[in-house]
Structure 1
């Protein structure tokens, strides 16, 4: 499942965006502009943008913040796969990829996560595309 990340309007520009860079996704239910806002954070840079949530900003074939919102925990992770200008496409980690990041002592996940190891992996398996069994489709 791919998502569009936008709004790199900060002092870093698109500098943090490197291929396979780990992105922390954080729900912002109290965001005054969008109740389904999902902020994107990276190690060393902090908040770098948001998951796109408008038909004008979501890249075709990727998921909007509104569609992703109920499929992830309050905190989850994705990896950057494509970068062009001020837009990046990231792939949401599967539960197995999340576990591999947690088990890797060199992963940025250890610096980004507030809930390391506490994410409900079964919830992710049920909701992230490609992990559901046929009875859930």
Structure 2
């Protein structure tokens, strides 16, 4: 997997629509999620699904001015910058959204070094 080194800038994303799946239960700060382009999504051609260990699909990266938290990038802004299999870490939680940071190359490599990291269980 090729990881773009965004170390010069932290990229935050909003995760929403998780009430459709497991609710807020899977989300805890520090948890890792896998980002996958959802090419079969008929509602949004820039949809990015989020998956977590034990839960599978837990939500989508927000892609609307009404759902993206200020300071975060929309799915449309990161869609062409990532490949399937990118990872993000949950940083903040609200009652209706989770805010995650896309891992930089250094952060990803640090996760790989940890044999207990969810990265190992979410990788293909």
Report TM bin, short chain. 0.7 to 0.9
**2:48 matched residue in structure 1:** 38
RMSD over equivalenced CA pairs, Å: 1.0
In 2, the alpha carbon distance for the partners of 1:51 and 1:102 equals 23
**1:18 matched residue in structure 2:** 28
Number of aligned pairs?
114
Q: CA shift at 1:113, angstroms?
A: 0.9
* TM-score normalised by the chain length of structure 1: 0.80
**1:68 matched residue in structure 2:** 78
Structure with max Cα Rg: 1
Q: Over residues 74-122 of structure 1, what are the superposed CA-to-partner deviations in whole Å (9 max), with x where a residue is unaligned?
A: 22100000000120100000011111111211101111111xxxxxxxx
In 1, the alpha carbon distance for the partners of 2:80 and 2:21 equals 31
Structure 1: which 5+ runs fail to align? 115-137
4+ residue stretches of structure 1 with deviation over 3 A? none
